[in-house]
C-alpha cells in the first residue's frame, strides 16, 4: 500500500495506534503480534497494556531469566501484581512421587510438631536445598522490581513451597544451609517493608504461606493514609515462632476501611473482633480464617472470640460471611471454635492425622443452616480398617442432615470418608439442581449388602443414574483425584478461593 507515493507498512503505524490494536488482543496473541517488527516490540510493554500481571512461577532456575525480563519491563508501573510460587514436584528425603512426597512431608512435619521440639528434624535433602535456594532468588527478583512502584494497588503473593515445612526447626534447618547468615531473608523482609512504605495507592495486600516474608513489624511500614484506605488484608503464615502474631488488635485499628480480612484463627482474638465491631470501622464483609493444628499447638485458643463477640461483630457487619479452613484440627477443638453466632458460609476440612467426627458435621448443619454454601471434607489418613464412617451408630447420616438443613448448600466435596450410595442418592434428591457441585471420590463410596446382593441391578450404574436424576444433570464419581486441586492442593485451593471470596463483595 502507498500513500502520496510513500510506502506505508506495519512498522510505520503510530505507537498510539499499535497500542490500541494490542489492547484488543489476548496476552499470547499480543506477544505473537509483537514479533512483527522492532517498533511493535517496543509498544508491547506500554504501561496501559499491563494494568495487571498474574504469574504462576515454577520454582526452577529456568524461570529466572524470563521473570527478570518481565519484572524489569512491568514491575515499575503495574497496578495489580499476583504471584504464585509453586514447586512442580516436592522432593523428600526418601524420594518418591511429587504427590506422595507432599503428603509425606506434611505428615512428617505435623508428626514432628506433635513429638515436640526435642525430636530431630529429617535428614537434609539436596533437592530441598536447591528448591529453597531458587525460591529465595525468585522472591528477591519480584520484590526488588516493585520496590519503588507507587502505582501498585493490589499485591498478592502465595508460596505453597512453605506448607511442607510447618515445624519451625525444619524450616530453620534448611534455611540455615541455604542462607546461613540470614542475609537473603533479611533482604526479602526489608524489600517487602520498602514496598509497603513506598506505596501510595495500595488497597489490597495478600500474603499467604510465603516463607518468612512478613514479620510482626511489616505493617508498621504502611503510612496511616494508606492503612486507613486499605480494603483487603490477608496475612497467612504458619512459620511465625512461638506466640508471635503478624498483626495485633492495636495495629488493626488503623485499618478503618477494611472490607475483607484473612488471618490465622489463633491470631483473630476477641479484642480484634471488638475493634472490627466498632462504629468507626466500615462493615466487614468477608472473613477467612485458617485453623491449623501446628498453630494451635504453639499458640492458644483462650483469646479467640466468644459468642457475644461474634454477635457484636455481626450487628455492625450485617453482611459478614466467614470462610474457615481447618488443617488436622481435633474435633474437640473444632467444637470449641464453632460458636453459634459465626455467619459461616464456607468450611473446608483437611486431615492427614486426625479425622472430623460426625458430631462436628452435625453441629455445623444445625448452627449454620441459614448461611452454609460450601462444605469440603478431605481425609488422607491411611487406616487398614478403611475410611471413617460419619454415620456409624447413628440413625441419620450427618451429611444427609447437612443437605436437608442447609438450604443454601451449593458445593459438597468428600474424599476419604465413607459415603454410602443410598445416602449419596438422598443428598442429590434433597438438594437437586441447587447443588451446583457434588464431588465424591469413587474410593469413598460404599454399598450396603442388599444393593450388592441384587443381581438384577448394577449398583454403580444405579447410583450414577439416581444421583444424576436427583441433580437434574449428568453426574459421575471422581475417578482421578489428581485432577481436582481441592483434594490434591488444599492450601492452594484455599488461597485461591479466599481471593475470589474476598473479591465477591
Domain chopping of the chain, boundaries? 15-44, 51-88+126-230
Helix (H, G, I), strand (E, B) or coil at 95: coil
Residues 290 and 266: their CA atoms lie apart, in Å, by: 8
Most confident of 164-173, 247-256, 293-302, 451-460: 247-256
pTM for the structure as a whole: 0.87
Residue whose cell numbers read 526489608? 190
Would you tell me how many other CB atoms lie within 10 Å of the CB of residue 16? 10
What local confidence, expressed as pLDDT, does residue 171 receive? Answer: 60
Lookup: cell for 361? 458435621
- Cα 181 to chain centroid distance, Å, stands at 31
pLDDT at 40: 81
- The helix (run of H) or strand (run of E) holding residue 13 is none
CB 287 within 8 A of CB 347: no
pLDDT greater than 80 at residue 395: no
Task: Look at the block and give the residue holding cell 490465622.
Answer: 264
Bridge partners for 158 per DSSP: 84, 208
Strands 2-3 and 6-7: antiparallel
Please tell me the distance from the alpha carbon of residue 262 to that of residue 432, in angstroms, as a whole number: 32
| Strand 286-292, strand 445-446: pairing | unpaired
Higher pLDDT, 44 or 269: 269
In the chain, the largest separation of any two C-alpha atoms, in whole Å, equals 91
Q: CA angle, 172 as apex, 169 and 176 as ends, to 5°?
A: 140
Kindly report the CA angle at 490 between 218 and 485, in degrees rounded to 5? 125
pLDDT tens-digit profile of 323-374? 999 999 999 999 999 999 999 999 999 988 888 999 999 999 999 999 999 9
Nearest Cα to 304, choosing from 274, 339, 270?
270
Q: Residue 122: which pLDDT band, with cuts at 50, 70 and 90? A: low
Cell representation of residue 461: 450404574
pLDDT tens-digit series, residues 42-65: 788 787 878 888 998 888 899 999
C-alpha distances (whole Å) from 41 to each of 44, 231, 290 are 5, 36, 44
Instruction: Identify the CA nearest to 382 among candidates 418, 416, 331.
Output: 416
| Exposure string over 328-346, b if 16+ CB within 10 A, otherwise e | bbbbebbeebbbebbbbbb
How many Å apart are CA 10 and CA 17, to the nearest integer? 10
Number of other residues whose CB lies within 10 A of the CB of residue 129: 15
Instruction: Give the position of cell 484506605.
Output: 229
Residue 381: pLDDT over 80: no
Among 74, 69, 32, 76, residue whose Cα is nearest residue 54: 74
pLDDT at 126: 79
202 closest CA partner among 159, 251, 257, 160: 257
The span from the first CA to the last CA of the chain, in angstroms, equals 52
Q: Is the pLDDT of residue 9 over 90?
A: no
pLDDT, tens only, 213-230:
998 999 999 999 999 999
Reply yes or no on whether the pLDDT at 7 is more than 70. no
Per-residue confidence (pLDDT) for residue 358, from 0 to 100: 93
Q: What pLDDT shows up at residue 50?
A: 81
User: Beta-carbon neighbour count of residue 185 at 10 Å?
Assistant: 18
Distance CA 288, CA 265 (A): 9
DSSP conformational letter for 124: P
Confirm if 196 and 219 have CB atoms less than 8 A apart: yes
Q: Which string of b and e fits 229-255 if b means at least 16 CB within 10 Å?
A: ebbbbbbbbbbbeeeebbbebebbebb
Convert the pLDDT of each residue in 62-85 to its tens digit: 999 989 988 998 899 999 999 998
Residues 143 and 186: beta-carbon distance below 8 Å: no
DSSP E strands, 461-501: none
Q: Which one-letter DSSP state was computed for residue 361?
A: H
What is the CB-side half-sphere exposure of residue 415 using CA atoms within 13 A? 24
Nearest-angstrom CA–CA distance, 240 and 166: 10
Query: Which of the residue ranges 167-171, 213-217, 425-429, 470-474 would you say has the lowest mean pLDDT?
Result: 167-171
Say which residues have a Cβ less than 8 Å from residue 6's Cβ, sequence separation at least 6.
Answer: none
Q: Given this model, what pLDDT does residue 382 score? A: 66
Cα separation, 92 vs 125, in Å, equals 7
Spatial distance between the Cα atoms of 455 and 39, rounded to a whole number of angstroms: 73
456-460 own/partner pairs: CB under 8 Å, 24+ apart: 459/421
Amino acid at each position: 500500500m502507498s500513500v502520496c507515493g510513500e510506502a506505508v507498512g506495519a512498522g510505520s503505524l503510530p505507537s498510539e495506534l499499535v497500542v490500541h490494536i494490542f489492547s484488543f488482543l489476548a496476552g499470547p496473541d499480543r506477544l505473537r503480534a509483537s514479533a512483527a517488527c522492532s517498533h511493535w516490540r517496543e509498544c508491547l510493554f506500554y504501561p496501559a497494556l499491563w494494568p495487571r500481571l498474574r504469574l504462576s512461577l515454577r520454582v526452577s532456575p529456568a524461570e529466572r531469566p524470563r521473570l527478570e525480563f518481565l519484572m524489569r519491563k512491568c514491575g515499575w508501573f503495574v497496578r495489580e501484581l499476583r504471584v504464585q510460587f509453586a514447586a512442580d514436584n516436592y522432593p523428600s528425603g526418601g524420594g518418591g512421587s511429587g504427590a506422595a512426597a507432599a503428603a509425606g512431608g506434611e505428615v512428617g512435619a505435623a508428626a514432628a510438631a506433635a513429638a515436640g521440639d526435642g525430636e530431630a528434624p529429617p535428614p537434609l535433602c539436596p533437592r530441598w536445598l536447591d528448591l529453597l535456594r531458587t525460591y529465595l532468588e525468585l522472591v528477591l527478583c519480584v520484590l526488588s522490581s516493585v520496590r519503588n512502584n507507587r502505582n501498585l494497588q493490589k499485591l498478592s503473593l502465595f508460596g505453597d513451597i512453605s506448607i511442607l515445612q510447618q515445624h519451625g526447626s525444619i524450616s530453620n534447618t534448611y534455611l540455615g544451609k541455604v542462607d546461613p547468615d540470614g542475609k537473603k531473608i533479611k533482604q526479602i523482609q526489608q524489600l517487602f517493608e520498602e514496598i509497603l512504605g513506598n506505596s501510595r495507592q495500595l488497597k489490597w495486600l495478600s500474603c499467604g504461606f510465603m516463607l518468612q516474608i512478613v514479620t510482626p513489624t511489616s505493617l508498621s511500614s504502611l503510612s496511616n493514609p494508606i492503612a486507613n484506605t486499605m480494603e483487603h488484608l490477608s496475612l497467612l503464615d504458619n512459620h511465625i515462632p512461638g506466640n508471635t502474631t503478624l498483626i495485633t488488635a492495636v495495629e488493626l485499628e488503623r485499618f478503618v476501611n477494611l472490607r475483607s480480612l484473612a488471618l490465622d484463627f489463633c491470631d483473630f482474638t476477641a479484642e480484634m473482633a471488638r475493634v472490627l465491631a466498632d462504629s468507626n470501622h466500615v462493615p466487614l464483609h468477608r472473613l477467612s480464617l485458617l485453623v491449623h493444628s501446628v498453630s494451635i499447638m504453639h499458640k492458644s485458643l483462650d483469646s479467640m472470640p466468644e459468642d457475644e463477640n461474634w454477635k457484636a461483630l455481626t450487628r455492625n457487619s450485617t453482611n459478614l460471611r466467614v470462610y474457615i479452613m481447618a488443617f488436622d484440627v481435633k474435633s474437640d477443638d473444632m467444637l470449641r471454635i464453632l460458636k453459634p453466632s459465626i455467619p459461616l458460609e464456607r468450611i473446608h476440612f483437611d486431615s492427614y492425622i486426625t479425622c472430623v467426627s460426625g458430631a462436628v458435621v452435625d453441629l455445623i448443619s444445625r448452627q449454620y443452616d441459614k448461611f452454609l454454601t460450601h462444605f469440603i471434607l478431605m481425609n488422607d489418613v491411611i487406616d487398614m480398617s478403611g475410611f471413617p464412617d460419619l454415620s456409624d451408630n447413628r440413625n441419620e447420616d450427618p451429611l444427609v442432615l447437612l443437605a436437608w438443613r442447609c438450604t443454601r448448600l451449593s458445593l459438597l466435596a468428600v474424599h476419604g470418608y465413607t459415603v454410602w450410595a443410598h445416602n449419596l442418592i438422598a443428598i442429590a434428591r434433597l438438594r437437586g439442581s441447587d447443588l451446583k457441585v457434588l464431588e465424591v471420590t469413587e474410593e469413598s463410596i460404599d454399598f450396603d449388602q442388599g444393593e450388592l446382593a441384587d443381581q438384577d441391578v448394577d449398583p454403580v450404574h444405579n447410583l450414577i443414574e439416581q444421583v444424576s436424576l436427583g441433580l437434574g444433570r449428568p453426574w459421575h464419581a471422581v475417578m482421578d483425584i489428581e485432577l481436582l486441586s481441592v483434594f490434591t492442593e488444599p492450601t492452594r485451593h484455599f488461597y485461591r478461593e479466599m481471593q475470589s471470596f474476598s473479591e465477591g463483595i
